[in-house]
Amino acid sequence: MEVNENVFKYSNPLVWLIAEGAEKATESMTLASDKGLSELKLEAEKQNIQMLFAQEQAKFEQELAIARRIDNAEEVEIEEFYELSASGKAGLV
């Protein structure tokens, strides 16, 4: 690992992680494309599944962070919002 990448890794780990993941995904796609169309399609499908899993993990982490903020707050105010359907929801889908 180059010095610049190492500094970036420790100064902004989230951005580094995203960049590292994108780089590895590109490498995987390049290697699969060298093996033919069927391998490329398989790799694309695999990466799509990994991306969907990562999205679900991110949603979970977001909800967990919100719960921690609520748990640590002295005062919590919850507002309901209304969409065009005029039915109240408290952030639930």
CA distances from residue 74 to 31, 68, 70, 71 in whole angstroms, order as listed: 53, 12, 8, 8
Contacts by residues 42-46 (CB-CB < 8 Å, ≥ 24 positions apart): none
Domain ranges of the chain: 3-89
- What is the full per-residue pLDDT of the chain (93 aa) written as tens digits? 566 667 766 777 777 778 888 888 888 888 888 888 888 889 889 989 988 888 888 888 888 888 898 899 888 888 887 777 655 555 554
Note the pTM of the prediction, 2 decimals: 0.54
SS (H, E, C) 4-52: HHHHHHHHCHHHHHHHHHHHHHHHHHHHHHHHCHHHHHHHHHHHHHHHH
